[in-house]
Structure 1
Amino acid sequence: MIDLANENTTPFLDRFKFLAIASNNLDEFYSVRVPSLQSQMELTDDGVETKSGMEYSKILKKVHKRNEKNFKIQYGYFQQLSKELAENKMGTFAKYRDLNEHQQEKADQLFDQRILPFLSFTTYDTRYSLDYLKNKRMALGVLIKKDNKKKIRIVPIPTNINRLIKLNFDGIDHYLLVEDLIRNNLTNLFDDGKIEEIITFRIIRDLDASLDVEKDDNNKDTIRNLRHYLADREKGRITMFEVEETDDLNLDFLKSFLKKFKVNKRTVYPIDGPLDLTFLFSLVKPLAKQYPKLVYPPLHAVQWNQSESMLKYLDQHDLLLQYPYDSFDQFLTFLRAAIDDPKTVAIKQTIYRVANHSKVIELLKEAAQKGIKVTVMIELRARFDEANNLKVTGELEDAGCNIVFGKKYMKVHSKTCLVLTEDGLNPKGYVQIGTGNYNESTATGFVDLSLFSSRDDYVKDLASFFNYLEQPVAEPPKYKVLTASPHRIEDMVIQNIQTVKEYYLRTGKGHVFLKVNSLTDVDVIAAIYDAATVGVPFRLVVRGACCLKLGICGPKEKIVVSSIVGEFLEHSRIYAFYDDDTSLWISSADLMTRNMDNRVELAAPILSPKLKKLMQHIIDVYEQDDVDGFFMNKKGKYFKYASPKGKSAQQTFIKEIDEPHEKPEKPRQSSKDVKIPQKVFLTVILIIAIIIILVALKLL
């Protein structure tokens, strides 16, 4: 992600955005992944991590060393981009000390009016604690001296103020960071001593506390437990302590500060630049409107042609969408059609993450109020979305929806919706099975697949799936075409790899394509190694963590691993197995042990011959990508081709919005080329003609 800030193919302003995304991702890494390693180190008395064969303490040391290197790269790019911003007269990052007297006076006036009223501080002289500072909070640590006595004050940076302050001097925009302005105006906040030293710091906390929210006797108990959990989570230990390396940073004071507040030295990162580069989002947004050619062009996603009923279409055809190239609005069209269809008796849906002010939730509420039986399986343990899911739970319950919480000891991570026109032993209706969340905000930036169908096998399997979710204690059902975790998706993938291996040994043909966010499951990796040893080709697209190693399967090994990183976040999961009977699947599950064993996931085979052709085209495009792809070498390092021979997968899919590779099998309509239906057009013409005739008669 950081490297995209230095790619010539990345638009200039979007390079700033990638630096911000990298910062946000790092925060989550230190809130979840690093604490998990720390906990395992303590629980096992620094035992050995099974996948790497290394002690946990050594892994943490490597993580710290690697992150120090990443910070140097990230802030090197930031300095270069800042220089280019100023050279192009688009604005300049300013420091308070570099402003002239008149400019400082203007900045000080802004401080007095807009910032000072929101400031507070806490004084320490005996007991020292940072417990009240929440995760991601930035603050100033100030050493005060009066009458030979010293005390420390902590001044939190307000979160309700835009961190980036824009001041215009002589026609040039100067961007001043709020923490810099505050530290140069502290005498306005307190004047009862001399300010000796100041440090600017930021903390990341352990948010990996286990959430013991299972199916209680009633929903009220579950919700109460979750609220307690959210309050306690903000008090987790500090896992990363960032401190800005200002010119006047006193290392002796910093050392004393860390000791007094019991901050582990191994969590400390001195940063040569402003902390928390996520403020760059607020820089890019207004500049993108001013300089639209310096960001990625807007995507005109394919919409559903409203002149045809989606449900009637699904009565005859299966449908496969790929967000964001296909608009997520088409799922909303699906829900709307189901609500308006008098034959609909029930709607059942899983919810993991949804947008704030979600249109999906509004439609489900409308369905319930209309008398349709609505059941929503809400996963309260969706990390960092717990509070929003609590709010959604209340809204849906008030609307009359039946709310079901997750299975005991397992998160429900599947993404599926079932519309029933007939319930009972022989259910009829429509299904949607996807790889991504029902979040219209992230669907514009996440690449995901979504399958729609009215096939009886899909409908019956999903009906069984939801019956299983709704029962407090139930054995997982046996499915006719679908496959679900725990365990069965892993078994399906391993069995298919074994089948391809046997086919390859007989014919010399066959291969496997897998596209996931992470590949860490030991048993799946072992199955890949076993097949690769005899020569089975594997093409793996793994965006994130990949524990598979290259070069250990002998001379016949043909495994290619890449991570595609581009304008959109690759989030779809695809399993493809090529033998005498090609098997193509989409799934909500990454190939990780937690997803295979400890989550309720869903995988669906593509059954329609036409959709198989479309799915194969998607796979072909990913297999050819060597533009956005970073490729793994035998040392586990990633490299990028200097002279790509293939093409960018994402740019290919964007181009195909207006130039589809083949005649599509569904009514298509690009959002930039919405045409008025003929009936509507003729009606409007008729109304205008009548008005003209009436006006003419009146004049006569």
Structure 2
Amino acid sequence: AAIAGANLDEFFMKRIGGLKQQVAAGVQEHSVDGRTPGQQMAVVHACIRSQQPLRETVHAELFAELAAAGIVLVGYAELSAAEREAVRSDYYDHIFPLVTPQSIDPAHPFPFISNLSLNLLVQLRYPGDPEISLARVKVPVSSAAPRFVPIGASGRFVLLEDLMAHHLDMLFPEMEIVGCEPFRVTRNANTSPREEHADDLLMMIESALRDRKFAPVVRLQVRPGMDPLLRGKLAAELGLDEETDVFEVRGMMGMRDLWELARLDRPELKDPPHYPVEHPALVTRRNIFHIIRDSGELLLQHPYESFSASVERFLKEAARDPKVLAIKMTLYRTSSQSPIVAELLTAAQNGKQVAVVVELQARFDEEANIRLATRMEEAGIHVTYGVVGLKTHCKAILVVRRDFNGLRRYVHIGTGNYHPITARLYCDLGLFAFDKEIGRDATELFNYLTTGYTPKRHYGKLLVAPKMLKRGLLERIERETRLHGDAESGHIQFKMNALEDVDICRALYQAARAGVRIDLLVRDSCRIRPGVPGLSETIRVVSIVGRFLEHARVYYFRNGGDEEYFIGSADAMKRNLEFRVEVLAPVSAPALKSELRHMLDLQWQDSRGAWEMQGDGSYRRRTAEDGAELSSQQRLIEEAERRHHGASRLRKRKSRNQRSENGDER
């Protein structure tokens, strides 16, 4: 519920905000589905309103289940006299000093309302005076003032805004409180300045972030039954159309704050702790570059296999290895306290040539990335911001090392961000490659990212957007269609976050009409409709919703038996394929292809978190025919632990044998 609430907030901030900008600019261009921006906005608004009753039902069920588990949300009116007295005292000591009332009258214009803030609109008057005044009080949700205020140690909570509404007498002594209405505001975050007109990209993004704070409001959330005159005045002050931009919410506004409850110390209500294990090949103290060189390729499955014991170790050893000369890396999202950043700084201090491509426009991480870029530049790291007009979304590391017979290039290509926190929560893949052609391709990639120069760039194995990735996928889909026949059964499998690109969809439909079997594991939005007679009878679409967020991208083509697997950062979306720098890397080793095949097969067998799309676009939860549920994520946890256990036992056995041999020699 917290994630869904946050996603809906971001949808209004970016998508609705963008549509409103287009409407204001008079744009009449039709989208893929034949609608103008105004028509799109009307359809989206209607859809969101139609979903509201379902959201409210789900929220009510959620709070009922929490109550059954001893986590009870109560109204202030339900508290006993003793509890009210205790809460009032605590409120006065710890929350009241944080609250600032703002009058709304001719001497005090309507105040600025910050994005996603929860507020109280208070109606009040002096006793005996019929004239009603207005005031705005911001609900100061923060670490110091939690949204869910505990009532002692009872396991019961009252919402902060409810508590504040019943203590307005502290803010307005000797005033009569006539009414109090909560409201919440969402502002446009679709600030997209023209990079090609900027002399300094960093300054441009900083300016855009300042503008975003004061961007137009795109949504107002209020309670049902709010006084129509008050509602109209509030909408007008915020520059909104009352009919289209005001959304009524029963119950709690700002569901993203439910993360507070998720952080409660109630382990019995959560999944057992998951501890990622080392990849079997890395259960050793050997130099990681020797391991990668001997293996040729290593495939990592996060969060089942440890990010810190693989990617972070790779950078840690690179930063300290005297034979390493250069480290090049892309950063889209990461943590300010990330060990990765620390290792890059260490590498620079140790005299390595370090170059980092930081994407300043990673949505809602812009400020963090600006601080990160500044910090690295001050340490002597060569920081660039990618190619003008394109987002750098690819996940790549290139390490150049002087080995015994010359310079060698070691490459990591990932599907997920180099972020130590999400690496424990997202299902992603990473590929370590010691391959001359991939090494050359990675060098070309970083030269492109640091210069923006494109003519005559050639890639031997990597598929790189926006120049060749989309074309490469379309050619492979067409090849699968051409190869399909009675003797050869064509088969395409994609695993990704979203499938929206029109050209890719059309090519898949054409392949399906030819009889090619197409299996699509798409977690989020998918424009393909499966099982439509004469169009997509051989297509299946499944979304897996489980403990971890499915985030990996895998592209599989049977190719007449000479199977191809690619992993990387790109979803099959127009923005990814045409307006971002993305990378897909081939997985060539037969053993690693078998790993990917096993993972994909497991996910197609999933009967716990799998939702299968129907021909009308709706989803139906898949159930096990024999009643024995299979969770692909849990199975992958167990298999990773078994592999690690076996590798650890083997290492211990070898260590004992070596000690024994050394003893015999003595």
TM-score for both structures, normalised by structure 1: 0.86
CA RMSD of aligned residues (A): 2.8
- After superposition, the Cα gap between the structure-2 partners of 1:57 and 1:631, relative to the gap in structure 1 and judged at 3 Å, is farther
Matched, 1:257 2:221: no
Superposed displacement of residue 257, structure 1: 2.8
Alpha-carbon distance in 1 for matches of 2:89, 2:654: 57
Superposed displacement of residue 268, structure 1: 1.8
Match of 1:236 among 215, 222, 238: 215
Superposed displacement of residue 208, structure 1: 0.9
Superposed displacement of residue 59, structure 1: 3.4
Matched, 1:162 2:146: yes
Q: Which residue of 1 aligns with 2:302?
A: 323
Superposed displacement of residue 478, structure 1: 0.5
Superposed displacement of residue 555, structure 1: 6.6
Letter in 2 for 1:96: Y
Q: Aligned to 1:228, what secondary structure does the other structure show? A: helix
Q: Which residue of 1 aligns with 2:56?
A: 75
Matched, 1:570 2:553: no
Letter in 2 for 1:167: I
Structure 2: where are the runs of 5+ without partners?
660-666
Matched, 1:594 2:575: yes
Q: Which residue of 1 aligns with 2:435?
A: 455
Superposed displacement of residue 387, structure 1: 0.6
* Contact 1:141 1:201 survives alignment (8 Å): yes
- After superposition, the Cα gap between the structure-2 partners of 1:129 and 1:430, relative to the gap in structure 1 and judged at 3 Å, is farther
Deviation string 1:129-180 (CA, Å, 9 cap, x unpaired) is 7672221111111122344433321111113322211112xx6222011111
* Contact 1:516 1:543 survives alignment (8 Å): yes
Match of 2:245 among 262, 267, 271: 267
Q: Which residue of 1 aligns with 2:664?
A: none
Alpha-carbon distance in 2 for matches of 1:38, 1:617: 46
Superposed displacement of residue 216, structure 1: 5.6
- After superposition, the Cα gap between the structure-2 partners of 1:381 and 1:517, relative to the gap in structure 1 and judged at 3 Å, is same
Superposed displacement of residue 549, structure 1: 2.6
Alpha-carbon distance in 2 for matches of 1:675, 1:154: 67
Letter in 2 for 1:583: E
Matched, 1:201 2:183: yes
- After superposition, the Cα gap between the structure-2 partners of 1:475 and 1:625, relative to the gap in structure 1 and judged at 3 Å, is farther
Matched, 1:300 2:275: yes
Superposed displacement of residue 270, structure 1: 1.6
Matched, 1:361 2:341: yes
Alpha-carbon distance in 2 for matches of 1:343, 1:236: 51
Alpha-carbon distance in 1 for matches of 2:196, 2:647: 43
- After superposition, the Cα gap between the structure-2 partners of 1:556 and 1:172, relative to the gap in structure 1 and judged at 3 Å, is closer
Matched, 1:226 2:210: no
Superposed displacement of residue 436, structure 1: 0.7
Alpha-carbon distance in 2 for matches of 1:278, 1:592: 27
Matched, 1:287 2:304: no
Q: Which moved more, 1:276-285 or 1:391-400?
A: 276-285
Alpha-carbon distance in 2 for matches of 1:299, 1:113: 39
Deviation string 1:586-611 (CA, Å, 9 cap, x unpaired) is 02111111111111111101112221
Matched, 1:634 2:595: no
Q: Aligned to 2:263, what secondary structure does the other structure show? A: helix
Alpha-carbon distance in 2 for matches of 1:199, 1:678: 70
Superposed displacement of residue 459, structure 1: 0.9
Q: Aligned to 1:601, what secondary structure does the other structure show? A: strand
Alpha-carbon distance in 2 for matches of 1:579, 1:550: 22
Deviation string 1:71-117 (CA, Å, 9 cap, x unpaired) is 333332332333333344x2321211221222211111111111111
Alpha-carbon distance in 1 for matches of 2:177, 2:653: 68
Letter in 2 for 1:613: S
Letter in 2 for 1:494: L
Superposed displacement of residue 47, structure 1: 4.8
Match of 1:311 among 285, 289, 301: 289
Q: Which residue of 1 aligns with 2:13?
A: 31
Letter in 2 for 1:461: D
Alpha-carbon distance in 2 for matches of 1:70, 1:567: 24
* Contact 1:497 1:528 survives alignment (8 Å): yes
Deviation string 1:337-395 (CA, Å, 9 cap, x unpaired) is 21222210000000100013111100000000000000000111111111111111121
Q: Aligned to 2:155, what secondary structure does the other structure show? A: strand
Letter in 2 for 1:334: F
Alpha-carbon distance in 2 for matches of 1:67, 1:128: 35
- After superposition, the Cα gap between the structure-2 partners of 1:34 and 1:556, relative to the gap in structure 1 and judged at 3 Å, is closer
- After superposition, the Cα gap between the structure-2 partners of 1:538 and 1:40, relative to the gap in structure 1 and judged at 3 Å, is farther
* Contact 1:215 1:472 survives alignment (8 Å): no
Letter in 1 for 2:336: N
Q: Which residue of 2 aligns with 1:608?
A: 589
Q: Pairwise mapping of residues 384-403 of structure 1 onto structure 2 (< 5 A)? A: 384-403=364-383
Letter in 1 for 2:502: V
- After superposition, the Cα gap between the structure-2 partners of 1:475 and 1:152, relative to the gap in structure 1 and judged at 3 Å, is farther
- After superposition, the Cα gap between the structure-2 partners of 1:42 and 1:83, relative to the gap in structure 1 and judged at 3 Å, is same
* Contact 2:411 2:432 survives alignment (8 Å): yes
Q: Which residue of 2 aligns with 1:440?
A: 420
Q: Aligned to 2:151, what secondary structure does the other structure show? A: strand
Matched, 1:535 2:515: yes
Q: Which residue of 2 aligns with 1:11?
A: none
Matched, 1:278 2:259: no
Superposed displacement of residue 515, structure 1: 0.9
- After superposition, the Cα gap between the structure-2 partners of 1:196 and 1:676, relative to the gap in structure 1 and judged at 3 Å, is farther
Alpha-carbon distance in 1 for matches of 2:520, 2:588: 23
Alpha-carbon distance in 2 for matches of 1:619, 1:517: 15
Alpha-carbon distance in 2 for matches of 1:453, 1:68: 49
Q: Which residue of 2 aligns with 1:659?
A: 642
TM-score for both structures, normalised by structure 2: 0.91
* Contact 2:463 2:585 survives alignment (8 Å): yes
Q: Which residue of 2 aligns with 1:697?
A: none
Q: Aligned to 2:351, what secondary structure does the other structure show? A: coil
Alpha-carbon distance in 1 for matches of 2:235, 2:470: 46
- After superposition, the Cα gap between the structure-2 partners of 1:298 and 1:58, relative to the gap in structure 1 and judged at 3 Å, is same
Deviation string 1:245-268 (CA, Å, 9 cap, x unpaired) is 5xx854443334323443322222
Q: Aligned to 2:312, what secondary structure does the other structure show? A: helix
Superposed displacement of residue 674, structure 1: 12
- After superposition, the Cα gap between the structure-2 partners of 1:164 and 1:678, relative to the gap in structure 1 and judged at 3 Å, is farther
- After superposition, the Cα gap between the structure-2 partners of 1:128 and 1:500, relative to the gap in structure 1 and judged at 3 Å, is farther
Superposed displacement of residue 214, structure 1: 5.6
Alpha-carbon distance in 1 for matches of 2:95, 2:157: 16
- After superposition, the Cα gap between the structure-2 partners of 1:224 and 1:48, relative to the gap in structure 1 and judged at 3 Å, is closer
* Contact 1:565 1:628 survives alignment (8 Å): yes
Alpha-carbon distance in 2 for matches of 1:644, 1:36: 45
Alpha-carbon distance in 1 for matches of 2:230, 2:331: 49
* Contact 2:437 2:461 survives alignment (8 Å): yes
Alpha-carbon distance in 1 for matches of 2:542, 2:107: 51
* Contact 2:104 2:111 survives alignment (8 Å): no
Alpha-carbon distance in 2 for matches of 1:556, 1:416: 35
